């Protein structure tokens, strides 16, 4: 990691004030935030949290934005009741904290969520979107679940495995040029491996001048020069879902 003393700058950014359009539900052993689409088209998107957990207003805002485009969205608590990271936490303890929250060990929860979406929400086509920790989780599930029609991994990347290219369905990766967590060399390596081995559609897009968290943790009004990048990334995310889900 770029800086072991401060390994994840997800705290760079803003916690927005947002109440949400959805409601909380119980999905087997976990809680989740569910927003129904204004039109029931049989399409759903699982939205996977960052390190600040499933209740972060920013993530719920993104889920509601996606729902407004014709998808039932669900933000499950993939930490299964464990405390999310707190912005004022001691970053020297972060690596230990992260060991108990492995973004690649969520299959039990993911299975429960898929079952819920199919049985309770009548979803026939399902996609997945995730941010930071959730971006890693998206990378993982897109290599594991052929039934997912599309995935969008937003500043998340699997670093500790040789196989990062066995994607089952179309996946969009969104990165920030000035990301302290994901150096551009890692993005280049992923690009190379996907180019050599990947058999499905994929796209890797790096946004110049942006930092980790820019898509969901920067207020649009905080920096006028960032707004076009935030808008473009969100538009790309929605276009990818529209094309493949």
The pLDDT tens digits for 37-53 are 988 899 999 999 999 99
pLDDT at 221 (0 to 100): 54
- Whole-number mean pLDDT of the chain? 91
Place of tokens 């995730």: 130
Tell me the pLDDT band of 160, cut-offs 50, 70 and 90: confident
pLDDT at 11 (0 to 100): 46
Tell me the pLDDT band of 9, cut-offs 50, 70 and 90: very low
The secondary structure of 179-225 as a DSSP string is -SSS-HHHHHHHHHHHHHH--S-EEEEEETT--TTTTTSS-TTT-TT
| Helix, strand, coil abundance in the chain, percent, nearest 5 | 30, 20, 50
Tell me the pLDDT band of 4, cut-offs 50, 70 and 90: very low
pLDDT at 91 > cutoff 70: yes
Sign of CA dihedral 56, 58, 91, 95: positive
pLDDT at 12 > cutoff 90: no
Domains of the chain with bracketed CATH? 23-244 (3.40.50.1820)
**Residue 228 in contact with residue 55, Cβ under 8 Å?**
no
Looking at per-residue pLDDT, the higher value among 16 and 240 belongs to 240
Tell me the pLDDT band of 1, cut-offs 50, 70 and 90: very low
Place of tokens 């699997």: 158
Percent of the chain with pLDDT over 70: 91
The secondary structure of 23-55 as a DSSP string is EEEEETTEEEEEE--SS--SEEEEEE--TT-TT
pLDDT at 226 > cutoff 70: yes
Collapse the DSSP code of 6 into the 3-class scheme (helix H, G, I; strand E, B; otherwise coil) and give the result: coil
Q: What is the set of active-site residues?
A: 132, 179, 212
Structure tokens at 84: 């999310």
Tell me the pLDDT band of 18, cut-offs 50, 70 and 90: confident
Can you tell me the mean pLDDT for 188-217? Answer: 94
Q: Give the Cα separation of 161 and 223 in Å (integer).
A: 36
pLDDT at 65 > cutoff 90: yes
Q: Give the Cα separation of 111 and 76 in Å (integer).
A: 11
pLDDT at 2 (0 to 100): 34
Give this prediction's pTM.
Answer: 0.93
């Amino acid at each position: 990691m770029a800086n072991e003393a401060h390994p994840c700058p997800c705290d760079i950014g803003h916690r927005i004030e947002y109440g949400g359009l959805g409601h909380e539900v119980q999905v087997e052993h976990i809680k989740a935030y569910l927003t129904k689409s204004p039109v029931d088209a049989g399409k759903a998107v699982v939205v996977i949290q960052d390190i600040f957990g499933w209740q972060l207003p920013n993530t719920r805002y993104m889920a509601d934005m996606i729902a407004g485009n014709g998808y039932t969205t669900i933000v499950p608590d993939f930490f299964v009741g464990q405390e999310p990271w707190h912005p004022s936490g001691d970053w020297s303890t972060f690596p230990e904290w992260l060991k108990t929250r492995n973004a690649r060990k969520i299959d039990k929860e993911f299975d429960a969520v898929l079952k819920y979406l199919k049985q309770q929400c009548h979803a026939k086509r399902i996609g997945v979107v995730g941010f930071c920790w959730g971006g890693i989780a998206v990378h993982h599930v897109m290599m594991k679940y052929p039934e997912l029609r599309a995935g969008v991994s937003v500043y998340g990347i699997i670093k500790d495995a040789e196989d990062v290219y066995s994607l089952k369905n179309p996946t969009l990766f969104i990165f920030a040029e000035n990301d302290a967590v994901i150096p551009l060399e890692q993005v280049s390596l992923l690009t190379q491996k996907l180019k050599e081995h990947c058999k499905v559609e994929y796209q890797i897009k790096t946004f110049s001048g942006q930092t980790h968290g820019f898509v969901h943790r920067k207020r649009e009004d905080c920096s006028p020069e960032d707004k076009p990048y935030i808008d473009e990334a969100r538009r790309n995310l929605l276009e990818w879902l529209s094309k493949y889900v």
